[in-house]
Every structure is written in structure tokens, then in C-alpha cells.
Amino acid sequence: MTAPSPGPDDPEGRLGPTRVRDLILLAVGAAILGWVLIAFNFGDFPIIRWYTGAALFVLAAVEAVVALVVRRRVADNEVGQAREQLHPLTVARLVALAKASAIVGAVAAGAWGAIAGYLFHLQDVASANASKAGSIIGALGGIALVVAALWLEQCCRAPDDPTDDGQVPNPDAA
């Protein structure tokens, strides 16, 4: 019986950092689906209010604050199993949150961007004009969530994590 083949992130099957290329592909796919959805169902869509996509900014702000806290705790070597330290399992959960949030943000940015593009394509349609601001806020919120999620993921890296080229940094070089 052969062992399962490792995933695309690492030859040994370990989970690697989120690739921007993958997020861009997700955003493009969501944009295509969003454009098709709005093009065939525009008459059935309600007006998109500004606060519809604003929740993405709230999520991005929360992740940015968490990233600041984690970055400080990692820099101060306060990660461990002691009661006052940041538990390593919590950091692993935050990495999972960051990866999932990056995917959600990319899909939201693509879909909202396509909807915004379609609405700007329409001329002199009152419901389209009323929905433009909400769709733009949604697209920008998706981008903000992707940025915050990638930063949180970066902040969760241990100081001695391997570099992008696979080399382990020399701890005595500092």
C-alpha cells in the first residue's frame, strides 16, 4: 500500500503559507460567477445598501487587532504552555482562521467587484445607481479582509520558521 501523495503546499505534506496566486484565481472565479448571477437576475435583486459589505471591514479590523497582539507576543517570546502565555494551539487556530478568511475575502472581493462592474455598466437605472456604493464597499471590504488575513497568517509564523526558499534561518546570525 502506498502512502498518500503530499499536497501542493509542501513536498512532505505540510501546510504552507497562503499563496496570493490561489486567492487571485478564487477572486476571478467568483467574479465570473457573480457577473453571470447579476446579469441574469438583476431584476430580482434588492437594492444593495452600504452596510451590506461593511461587515467585511469589521472582520478585517478584528483580524488586524489580533495580528498585532500575536505579533507582539511572538516577538516577546510569549508563546508557550504557561498560563500567561499564548498557547501554540491558539496560534494554530488563528492560522486556520486567517487561511479561511483570506479565501472568504477573495471570493467576496471577486463577487462584489463583478456586481459593481455590472452596475456601472448599466446607465441611468435607478436601482443600479442606488446599489453602486454598497457593491463598492463590499469589494473593498473583501480586499481588506484578504490583506488582514494574510498579515495575521504572517504574524503567526514562528521566528525560526523556514524561509520561502525552504532554508532554515541561522539563529546565530543575529
Q: Which of 50, 45, 36 has its CA nearest to residue 118?
A: 36
Count CB neighbours of 86 within 10 A.
20
- The sign of the CA dihedral 44, 50, 54, 55 is negative
pLDDT of residue 83: 83
pLDDT of residue 75: 85
Q: What is the pLDDT of residues 88-113, one digit of tens each?
A: 899 999 999 999 999 999 999 999 99
pTM: 0.81
**Model confidence at 4: pLDDT above 80:** no
pLDDT of residue 2: 46
Site of grid cell 453571470: 36
Q: What is the pLDDT of residues 120-172, one digit of tens each?
A: 888 767 778 888 899 999 999 999 999 999 999 999 887 765 555 555 555 44
CB 150 within 8 A of CB 156: no
CA triple 54-105-138, angle to 5 deg = 30
Q: How confident is the model at residue 1 (pLDDT cuts 50, 70, 90)?
A: very low
